[in-house]
Structure 1
Amino acid sequence: MSLIGQETDSIPSKLELKGYVKGMQSTLFMGDIDDNASASLLHNRLNFKYNISTNWTARLEIRNRVFFGEQVKLTPDFSQLLRQNNELFNLSKVWIDEKSLVAHSEIDRFLINYADDNWNITLGRQRINWGINNVWNPNDIFNAYNFLDFDYEERPGNDAIRIERNVKENASLELAYKPGKTKDEHTAALLYKFNKWKYDFQFLAGIYNTDYVIGGGWAGNIKNAGFKGEWSYFIPKENTLISKESFSISLMADQTFKNDWYVSVSALYNSNPSDFSLFSGNVFSSQLSAKTLFPFRYNFHSMVMKTISPISTVSCSFIYSPEKNTLIIVPTYLWNVANNFDLDFTAQSFFAKENQSYHNLATQVFVRGRWSF
């Protein structure tokens, strides 16, 4: 007698769990190597996905972080800086709030999704990513992010509903709405995407807090080089003494060369720069907006990356603004130690003209390990 069994691998799991555990040590040098402050971060992420049926899924994702060290002690109201401002509901909890120790948990994804060949509908806390470029995204009106906050790969989300409909083989229409706590905190917009002349185009229009917004973007190639761009124009709904029209545009070109060299260049123009100090704390924060992606009017970014081996990569980024000759240098080394363990070394060094002299404002060095499961 013979029995025919079914392999368990062919049966999709109803509940999936993925995540990681990270440990990061950082040291901040304020000009002088003897003037430094250290900090440590333990970071755990749990990503739950429940496959309800063929078309329905639900996701719950939680980030748990423990901060301790001198930088925590020297930062006023450190625990208050961890809350994302664009969330309608407070799904975070500060478990420990001491001078040198803060423990914080946050649900940054909590959603249900329906998808078939023509529709994709998502309700709940999610990331609505309308940006095209790698660094600055004027089209990312729902949840803009700070690219210097490199330890948040998932990027911020918000409480919203998103409905996407495929209208043609190469075109789609998307509607998204993020309610706010007040009448000046709502964001709602339509996005139309299509492909023409071997380029991907998109156009958007809607309401962004106190403004009306229109925008668009493209992605394609000029010979072997990638060429992307996006822009947004913000028009105040009401004329006041402080209201201003605002225009942002970013351009990007990149190319991969022989011997695994990669080079990219980007530029950002803000018609109404904020001009806050680089070390007011805001530059490290994820609390940005599509109107203020970086503090200065003219901003430039370039990156050179080299793949040394299948398990290691080295890169260096340069961010420059003519305002006070501001320069940020970000070297990084990535090492895939094992299939589920990565190690990286990153530095962020800030230079600018202050008090009639050009000098290093600060340098922060990070060493991070990540185990994924």
Structure 2
Amino acid sequence: MITLNGYIKDLQSTYFIQKIDSNASMNLIHNRLNFKFIISPKISGRLEIRNRIFYGEQLKMIPDFGKTINQYNGIFNLSYLWINEKSFVAHSVIDRMLLQYSDEKWDIKIGRQRINWGINNIWNPNDIFNAYNFLDFDYEERPGNDAVRIQHNFKSNSVLEFAFKPGKNKDENTAAFLYQFNQWKYDFQFLGGICQTDYVVGGGWAGNFKEAGFKGEMSYFIPKKNTLGTSAAFNFSIMADQTFKNDWYISLAGLYNSNPTNTFTANGSFYNPNLSAKNLFPFRYNFYATLMKTISPIASCNLSFIYSPEKNTLILVPTYAWNVATNFDLDFTAQSFFATQTHSYKNTLTEIYIRGRWSF
């Protein structure tokens, strides 16, 4: 049996720096096709294709935009850059292609897949295989990679997992074990292995503190070779959230990064091929908060912000989401960046998005 679902989205964005009369616009037509193959009761397969067309004057401000979105450090190149012009880019990629065997004890996946070891909603130091940029809100499925993943379920509801992601050379390989179990009404996990040029150990938890959700995770990266410019790195994130009876939702999170780069350029693209669990955000101390209100069963509004003391960096992200019909959604989002520059506090960039999505 073969099933198909997916969507077509249109994302219109307007970008301006400090003054609205410096604006530049871009349009993204985004199509996704998700095929699922049921081969037998225990064997299935998935093939998912992402097609995107970008056009507009904003593309001219992003150097080599087409080449940036066409990068993948895995073994197989399953993407194609159909058109790569200064103001028009067309790109397709197969970001899921796998076979899966599943029974009561075993779950085995081979192929391009997402290996989600992260716990928190925003920053995931445990997501060593395919970390994602939460500012790239148009990619709900999140990145995948070519890998083998073997999961064994024990009678005690604990799980042991092994995953291996080969790279083009030995310094791009990632291989690790993950052990998950439940204790004291909390879910715990521990991981260890190799993450490209580093050994990595880490872990995390998820549970409740009274009525609030309480989660955290951490990873410690130790260079395999001690060379000039290399050092160990420790990333730790923590999060608490709660939904109230009057349909308000609050979430708070923090990230500590022991080796910050302190370089952050908001250029309107947010496509960062170098993002990893070792470098989730460029600053040492980072704080996140969101306040969401459900207005009706079909509408909600959300105000999020990210703050770092480094240059007093602030990112405001207001969102309004509206389920217009059963299979049609409309949302309005802004991302506005502020920082201290040359002894004054400035709005360095603002981008406004209007997105429509038809699902099938």
Greater CA radius of gyration, 1 or 2? 1
Structure 1 pair 113–27 and aligned structure 2 pair: CA distance change class (3 A):
same
Correspondence 1:348 to 2:335: yes
CA drift of 1:77 comes to 1.0
RMSD: 1.1
Distance in 1 (alpha carbons) for counterparts of 2:73 and 2:113: 11
Name the counterpart of 1:310.
Answer: 297
CA–CA distance in structure 2, aligned partners of residues 282 and 266 of structure 1: 24
Q: Secondary structure at the match of 2:58?
A: helix
Q: Deviations over 1:147-193 (max 9, x none)?
A: 00000000000000000001233200000000011111000000000
Letter in 2 for 1:202: Q
Corresponding residue number in structure 2 for 1:105: 92
Aligned partners of 1:37 and 1:195: how far apart in 2? Answer: 51
Query: What do the CA deviations read for 1:103-138 (whole angstroms, capped 9, x no partner)?
Result: 100000000000000000000000000000000000
Confirm or deny: 8 A CA contact 1:161 1:178 kept in the other structure: yes
- What pairs up with 1:225-240 in 2 under 5 angstroms? 225-240=212-227
In the alignment, structure 1 residue 148 sits paired with structure 2 residue 172: no
* 1:214-251 Cα deviation digits (max 9, x unpaired): 00000000100000000000011111111100000000
Q: Is the contact made by 1:303 and 1:317 (CA closer than 8 Å) also made in structure 2? A: yes
Aligned to 2:55: 68
Partner of 1:4: none
**In structure 2, what residue type is equivalent to 1:230?**
E
TM-score, normalization by structure 1: 0.95
Counterpart Cα distance in 2 of 1:230 and 1:84: 28
Do structure 1's residue 23 and structure 2's residue 6 form an aligned pair?
no
Task: Indicate yes or no: 2:316 matched with 1:329.
Answer: yes
Quick check: 331-340 or 94-103, which moved more? 94-103
Distance 1:281 1:88, change over 3 A: farther
Q: 1:168 corresponds to which residue?
A: 155
For the Cα contact (< 8 Å) 1:148–1:284, is it kept in 2? no
After TM superposition, list the pairs within 5 Å mapping 1:112-261 onto structure 2: 112-261=99-248
In the other structure, the counterpart of 1:278 is 265
Per-residue deviation, 1:280: 5.6
Structure-1 residue corresponding to 2:277: 290
CA distance in 1, matches of 2:54, 2:269: 18
1:50 aligns with 2:34: no
- Deviation string, structure 1 residues 304-334 (Cα, Å, up to 9, x no partner): 0000000001001010000000000000000
Residues in 1 aligned to 2:73 and 2:310: alpha-carbon distance in whole angstroms: 29
Could you tell me which residue of structure 2 aligns to residue 7 of structure 1? Answer: none
Q: Distance in 2 between matches of 1:339 and 1:27?
A: 28
Alpha-carbon offset, residue 88 of structure 1: 2.3
TM-superposition CA deviations, 1:55-112 (whole Å, max 9, x none): 0001000000000001112222110111243432111001111221111000000000
> Matched residues in 2 for 1:87 and 1:105: separation?
16
Query: Residue 286 of structure 2 aligns with which residue?
Result: 299
Separation in structure 2 between the aligned mates of residue 204 and residue 180 of structure 1, nearest angstrom = 20
Deviates more, 1:42-51 or 1:70-79: 70-79
Separation in 1, partners of 2:255, 2:227:
27
* Displacement over 2 Å in runs of 4+: 83-88, 277-287
Cα contact 1:201–1:216 (8 A) shared by 2: yes
Q: Could you tell which deviates more after superposition, 277-286 or 145-154?
A: 277-286
- Distance in 2 (CA, whole Å) between partners of 1:137 and 1:283 is 18
- The CA distance in 2 between the partners of 1:180 and 1:90, in whole Å, is 12
Q: Decide whether aligned partners of structure 1 residues 90 and 281 sit closer, same or farther in structure 2, where only a CA change above 3 A counts.
A: farther
Match of 1:360 in 2: 347
Structure 1 stretches of 5 or more lacking a match?
1-13
Shift of 1:279: 2.3
Kindly tell me the number of residue pairs found equivalent between the two proteins.
360
Matched, 1:92 2:79: yes
- SS of residue paired to 1:34: helix
> Structure 1 residue 283: deviation in Å?
4.5
CA distance in 2, matches of 1:246, 1:228: 21
Please tell me whether the aligned partners of residues 15 and 268 of structure 2 are also in contact (alpha carbons under 8 angstroms). no
Q: In the TM superposition, what is the alpha-carbon distance from 1:284 to its structure 2 partner?
A: 4.3
Look up the match of 2:251: 264
Instruction: Label 1:48 to 1:333 Cα distance change in 2 as closer, same or farther (>3 A).
Output: same
Cα distance in 2 for partners of 1:83, 1:277 equals 22
* SS of structure 1 residue aligned to 2:200: strand
User: Does the 8 Å CA contact 2:74/2:146 hold for their aligned counterparts?
Assistant: yes
